[in-house]
Every structure is written in structure tokens, then in C-alpha cells.
Amino acid sequence: MTEITETPATATGPAHPSPLREFWQYFSDNRGAVAGLVVFAAFFLVAVFAPLIAPYPPHEQFRDHLLQPPFWQPGGTLQFPLGTDPLGRDMLSRLIFGARYSFFIGMVVVSIASFFGVVIGVIAGFAPSWLDTLIMRLMDIVLSFPSLLLALVLVAVLGPSLMNAMIAIAVVLQPHFVRLTRAAVLSERPKDYVTAAKVAGAKPGRLMFVTVLPNCLAPIIVQAALSFSSAILDAAALGFLGMGAQPPTPEWGTMLAESREFILRAWWVVTFPGLCILFAVLAINLMGDGLRDALDPKLKRS
């Protein structure tokens, strides 16, 4: 029989794009994701260069300008573009420095929660059934508490501070990663490529983290993005309840809490921190969706 040369399934030609280029190609197809990335990058740059961008230090008080409205309102000046808070501090500067806290919180919480969540989840997926059951029932117990309430209890035990709030939020978010990872591992494990790796002699560690885990990343990445935003939200909520960052820290949630009583007289003191939280969370969620589309080869059009 004559040997038939099979044509390649893709029509990309001889020069195949590098993985990074390809990733960008798929990511940039999703406009919402690009918009999210732009906003996220803007927030990130603002957070990094806060001392250079902000017109004033976040704690500097201008006693002559208490509760001054934004510049386009009667009584506002360009000296304080977004107005001042009840203590005469520049809102814009405080919001800019607040971005630092929010990103710091998001990063730390997601790193802690996803690292431990993924490791425990993969182990549960491969463990003998008694250990699997033990881990999952423990996670169910954590999940059965209302998350904010559990975070509150943990903060109450550890003492109110930003660091403790982050630890509490990470503990609350982590079972989601465990369940998600375990479910993904269980659906991947019976597949033939895992058996093939086993036949090739892969040890359990390699099987877990080199063979199976990369195929479970898509839902974990989405969960990490969503957790990033819910970490910011939860930290803001804890701050609002006085259990997170303590005044005078310019954390967005704490800023909301401080100015709660002025909500009717000076709308800007609550609106701007709220909008910052909203945009940051929305941008991260959009970006998370785009990441999933670009990172998951099964959804790619080949």
C-alpha cells in the first residue's frame, strides 16, 4: 500500500506561533477580557507608583477643607479633584494609596488560598477513599459557615488587623479551591494519558503535579480570579465592620466605614471608594474569563 502523507490539521503554515504569542492571540479576541486587563493594569500601575502619582500623602490633613466636594460641584476646587473627607484628607490621594492595599490583599489571599487549596485538592483526588472523605468533610465544615461570619470569628480570635483579616479570608476561600481541584482531578484521573504516564513509570508526585494538575488549571484560574475580587470585597467588608484594616489606613472598605455617617451630606466620600471596589472587581472578573478562554486548548478553534 502506498504511504499517504497526512496533511497537518492546522493551516497555520510552517512557522508555528510561539505559545505566548498564541496565548495573546486568543486572549485579545475577547474584548471584555482586554478591557479588564487594561483596567487591571491601570490599577496595578497606580498601586505601584502611588507615591509618585498621588498629589498628597494619604494621611495629610487640610483643616480648612473639610468635606470639600469634587471640583465640578459648587464649592469644589482643582486643588482636591475628588474632594476631601471629613478630616480634610484628599480623597484622590487616599484612593490611589488604597489601590495598594487592595492589590496586596488580593495577591496574598489568593496565593495562600490557591496554593494550599490546590495542593490539598490534588492530594484528596489521589488519596485512598478514607483520607479523601476526611479532607472533604473538613472542607464541608468550613464551607457550612457563612463565609463572612467565619472570617469575623477568626479575626475576633486573632485580633483585628489587616494581616489577620487576610489570613481569615484565605481560610474561608480555600475550600473552594480544594473542591474544584479535587473534582477536576477525579475527572482527569481515569483518562488514558494518565494511565500511559503510569505505564511509563511516573511516580505519584509526578502524576499529580506534572501530568494531571496542568489539565485542571482552567477552572482553578477562573476561581483564582474570582477569589481575587471576592478577597478584595471581603477585606472591604471586614474593614467596613471595623475588623480589617484599621483607620487611618486608606483601605477602600475602611474608608467606606469611616464616612458612612456622611452618606447623605457628602456623597463623594462613600461613592468613590465604592466605585473603585466595583471597577477593580469587575475588571478582574472579565480578565479571568479571558484567561480561561485563552489557556484552555479544548475551547480553542484549531
Partner 1 sequence: MSDPIFTAENVKQHYLIRQGMFADPIVLRAVDGASFVLNRGRTLAVVGESGCGKSTLARMVTMIEDPTEGRMTIDGSEILPGAASRDAVLRSRVQIVFQDPYGSLNPRQTIGKTLMEPLLINRKDVPAQERERRAREMLDLVGLRPEYFDRYPHMFSGGQRQRIAVARALMLDPEVLVLDEPVSALDLSIQSQILNLLVDLQDRLGLAYLFISHDLSVVRHVANEVMVMYLGKPVEQGPKDAVFAAPRHPYTKALMSATPTADPSRRQERIKLSGELPSPMAVPPGCPFHPRCWRASDRCRKDMPTLEGDAHRFACFNPIEA
Which residues of this protein are in contact with partner 1, per CB under 8 A?
Answer: 1, 3-6, 8-10, 14, 16, 191-193, 195-203, 206, 211, 214-215, 297-298, 300, 302
Nearest approach, Cβ of residue 194 and partner 1 (Å) = 8
> With left for phi above 0 and alpha for psi between -120 and 50, is residue 270 left, alpha or beta?
alpha
What is the CB neighbour count within 10 angstroms for residue 295?
17
Minimum CB distance to partner 1 smaller for 63 or for 137: 137
For residue 3 the three cell numbers come to 504511504
Nearest approach, Cβ of residue 16 and partner 1 (Å) = 7
For residue 245 the three cell numbers come to 484594616
Nearest approach, Cβ of residue 193 and partner 1 (Å) = 4
How far apart, in whole angstroms, are the C-alpha atoms of residue 268 and residue 95?
Answer: 12
Nearest approach, Cβ of residue 269 and partner 1 (Å) = 49
Minimum CB distance to partner 1 smaller for 31 or for 300: 300
Minimum CB distance to partner 1 smaller for 5 or for 144: 5
Minimum CB distance to partner 1 smaller for 10 or for 144: 10
HSE-up (13 A, CA, CB side) for residue 146? 3
Minimum CB distance to partner 1 smaller for 159 or for 201: 201
Nearest approach, Cβ of residue 293 and partner 1 (Å) = 14
The SS3 assignment for 84 reads: strand
Helices (H), 76-159: 91-126, 129-144, 147-158
